[in-house]
Structure 1
Amino acid sequence: MLRICGMPKITALSALPSSLATLLIVDCEELTSLSEGLQYLTALKNLHLSRCVKLNSLPESIRHLNSLQSLTIRRCPGVSCLPNQIRHLTSLSSMHITACSNLMSLPEGIRNLEMLRELEITDCPNLERRCKKEKGKDWPNIAHIRTIVINGQVIQSSET
């Protein structure tokens, strides 16, 4: 596990050990890019980004994180979109998005994630609207997910 916490001056991630299983990046106010650091993390299972206010997107190189099981993005108001390359995260089983007020929609590629069992969205007004059950524009892309929780309310739950 690598925890990068409270490093306000760091602006980008450079090469990290490919054997890393968990990466937590918290309170890195100037961090704007993850692209260099992510692409070789083929063993990464958990990625947690929190309070990185200048981070505006996840890199397309996220496609290389074949082992990623859990993705959490919290309080990253600069993130306005997730790359469609998210469709390559075939091991992803849970995604939590909290207080990302500028995140406008989920990528269409999320519909390809057959292992994704849990999606939780909190305090993301644009996503909440787009993920409304059977009515939201993103609903066709997430309808296959077993458990969907929006602002603490379970809108879809199926045990299979």
Structure 2
Amino acid sequence: MKDLPSSLLTLSISFCDNMIPHKGWKLDKLHSLGHFQILGGCKELESFAEEGLLPTNLKSLSISGLLNLISLDGEGHQKLTSLHSLGIDSCSKLDSLPEHGLPLSLFKISITYCSLLNPKLRNRKGKEWSKIARIHSIHLDEE
């Protein structure tokens, strides 16, 4: 990926099968980037939490249709200190949220059509629920 303009506000990547997000993209240098969306494709992507991948001032992150995504673990999400909204949709192999928790700034989370993760959240108890219980606005499949 070529250098992107530093004034970029929103970046959406859709259905790029052979693309895997990595630090070489230098997205962390896009200090104006407030919204990042990755939709489908990225067939080889199993984890999405590399530290330094995204700018710390990112406000919203949407991850959808990453069928081989297994993990969000890593230190990367903790560094997103301005993250306000997180959407996770149709990630059928994802079965847990980051072990080290989600950013304290997170106000809104939506987790839908994640067949392994959603059942662990439905009863509003357990290890996975404790990772999101403090978040003000929570939307799950059942709601």
TM-score bucket of the superposed structures, by smaller chain: 0.7 to 0.9
SS at match of 2:100: helix
Shift of 1:91: 0.8
Q: Which residue of 2 is the match for residue 36 of structure 1? A: 24
Give the alignment partner of residue 77 of structure 2, picking from 67, 86, 97: 86
Instruction: Calculate the aligned-residue CA RMSD, in Å.
Output: 1.9
Q: Which digits, 9 at most, give the CA deviation of each residue in 1:6-34, with x for residues without a partner?
A: xxxxxxx4532332211000011111233
Give the alignment partner of residue 141 of structure 1, picking from 101, 106, 131: 131
Greater RCO, 1 or 2 (C-alpha within 8 Å, sep 6+): 2
Match runs of 1:108-119 below 5 Å? 108-111=99-102, 113-119=103-109
| Long gaps (5+) in structure 1 | 1-12, 154-160
- Whether the 8 Å contact between 2:51 and 2:79 is mirrored in structure 1 is no
Q: 1:16 to 1:133 in 2, by over 3 A?
A: farther
Scaled by the length of structure 1, what TM-score is found? Answer: 0.77
| Long gaps (5+) in structure 2 | none
Give the alignment partner of residue 65 of structure 1, picking from 55, 65, 79: 55
Matched, 1:122 2:112: yes
